[in-house]
Amino acid sequence: MNEHLRTSADVAPRPSSAALAALALCAALLACSTPTSSDSGFGDAPSTRDAADVLADVSSSDADVVESDSTTIDVPSLDVPLVDVASPDVSIVDVPSVDAPMPDTACAPGEARCASVCVDLSTSLSHCGACGATCSAGANATAVCAAGRCAPVCVTGFASCDGDMSNGCEVDVRTSATHCGRCGQTCSGAPNATGACALGRCTIACLPGFSDCDGVASNGCETDISSDPDNCGACATNCPGRVCAASMCTVPRSCRDLHVAAPTLPSGSYTIDPDGPGAGSLAPYTVSCDMDTDGGGWTLIFVAPDRNQNSRTLDYTVTDPTLRMSAAQALLALRDTTMATQPVVASVPAVRFGMPPNWRVQAPFRYESVDETVNSVVLPGTTATPRTLRYGYALMASYGCTGPWTPTANSWGRVCVNGTTSALYAAFANPLADNCDRSDDPMAGCEANRRFTIAVR
């Protein structure tokens, strides 16, 4: 038999599995396409090989099989450089080369070539007028290239008022009081106000505590909102207690406090809280205030109720003692229903004196008979004169303010200041009609518009 034919047992090195697989394919192909010795009819020519020969050779050497049979087997090679062909590095990067010169004809009319880029030198921010000439902008400005020159433009609301665009547009003309709306436009001040700029238009800025309640800029901030009870803290904010202090509504402790806080308030009824608003046991209550007499600020604590009292225990009409306890002065006066202007009767002036300590304890009508010296001022007047204040429910020997008190079996009643023409009150402890007149002429009766009053401040 063929000397080349050998069994697998003869092969010293065993072929690898890959080689065997290749050989199996090789053997199959040879069987179909390679003439065998029997087919040719020329016998056992040594040059003729069959599948068995190939198998025997491969078994001895892998390399021999691949080299000798490559032309006929045409085994698909795994080494075909598929990866190299498809390499993205080659096709993408190499084509648009940055350094590659571009023909001038590639730029559109009106454009120039800077490096490889076509630009419009008249408008390009990076190549303004010349390649590489960049346009920048300072604060509040936008870079602009116009007609080949850098010309930064201020953003809306700002301006360059210093003539220097290198620092941009440094002025906010919407709010600048010295460049309002445009450079150099200054906003002047007004009473209680400084010039200001809002939305590019001149206006005024009120000083603290003032406001422009009438909307008229020319008279500035005419309203003192720190103390105006009609514009307290803000325009048209009305204080129920008629007191505005430190721009806040409050309720006064007395007519005196109210008068100090708001000197122009007229006489009338006002709400006070003698032990303080929001404090103490007292709730606010209404009293009559005399803002006219002797400088004003008087709180009325007694107003004769009608024409005829008949009592030894007549009390103040404001029974709360707080006001009288803190009062420094008392005022006797006849008043009309307004409780205001004095004297209500020209011939009967009011009289003012230091608050008698007894009057703080209780109303003078409740004492039997007291004479005490007070420094009194018959109004209008400026000289305090020591005079005898007389008060009590007892009977006096005269109808005026003279003569001794008599035993109290017959009550009568008297409040007067001896030696003056000032207001007198009499007969309040007697069934007869009361008298509201002057201390030296006590004959006129009390009337609705002729009431005896005591006020304190």
Residues that bind Ca ion (CB under 5 A): 160, 162, 164, 167, 170, 212, 214, 216, 219, 222, 273, 275, 280, 282, 308, 310, 427, 430, 434
The closest alpha carbon to 50, from 35, 64, 69, 40, belongs to 35
Looking at the Cβ atoms of 222 and 290, the one nearer to Ca ion is 222
Query: Shortest gap between Cβ of 266 and Ca ion (angstroms)?
Result: 25
Q: How many CA atoms lie within 13 A of 196 on its CB side?
A: 13
Query: Shortest gap between Cβ of 377 and Ca ion (angstroms)?
Result: 29
Query: Shortest gap between Cβ of 309 and Ca ion (angstroms)?
Result: 5
Query: Shortest gap between Cβ of 143 and Ca ion (angstroms)?
Result: 14
Looking at the Cβ atoms of 124 and 453, the one nearer to Ca ion is 453
Q: How many angstroms separate the CA atoms of 173 and 310, rounded?
A: 80
Q: Look up tokens 């009767």; give the residue.
A: 345
With beta carbons less than 8 A apart as the criterion, state whether 121 and 115 touch: no
Q: Which helix (H) or strand (E) holds 19?
A: helix 17-33
Looking at the Cβ atoms of 73 and 137, the one nearer to Ca ion is 137
Looking at the Cβ atoms of 162 and 315, the one nearer to Ca ion is 162
Residue 287's beta-bridge partner residues? 270
Q: How many angstroms separate the CA atoms of 327 and 318, rounded?
A: 13
Name the residue whose CB lies closest to Ca ion. Answer: 160
Question: Within 10 A of 132 (CB to CB), how many other CB atoms are there?
Answer: 9
The closest alpha carbon to 289, from 305, 304, 309, 303, belongs to 303
Looking at the Cβ atoms of 46 and 163, the one nearer to Ca ion is 163
Looking at the Cβ atoms of 353 and 425, the one nearer to Ca ion is 425
Q: Look up tokens 């006929």; give the residue.
A: 72
Looking at the Cβ atoms of 308 and 421, the one nearer to Ca ion is 308
Looking at the Cβ atoms of 104 and 162, the one nearer to Ca ion is 162
- Name, in order, each residue with C-beta under 8 angstroms of 319's C-beta and a sequence gap of 6 or more: none
Query: Shortest gap between Cβ of 89 and Ca ion (angstroms)?
Result: 51
Query: Shortest gap between Cβ of 347 and Ca ion (angstroms)?
Result: 22
Residue 319 identity (one-letter amino acid): T
Question: Within 10 A of 55 (CB to CB), how many other CB atoms are there?
Answer: 21
Query: Shortest gap between Cβ of 380 and Ca ion (angstroms)?
Result: 31
The alpha carbon of residue 118 and the mean position of all alpha carbons in its chain are separated, in whole angstroms, by: 54
Q: How far is CA 204 from CA 189, 227, 379, 443, in A?
A: 6, 21, 47, 64
Query: Shortest gap between Cβ of 294 and Ca ion (angstroms)?
Result: 28
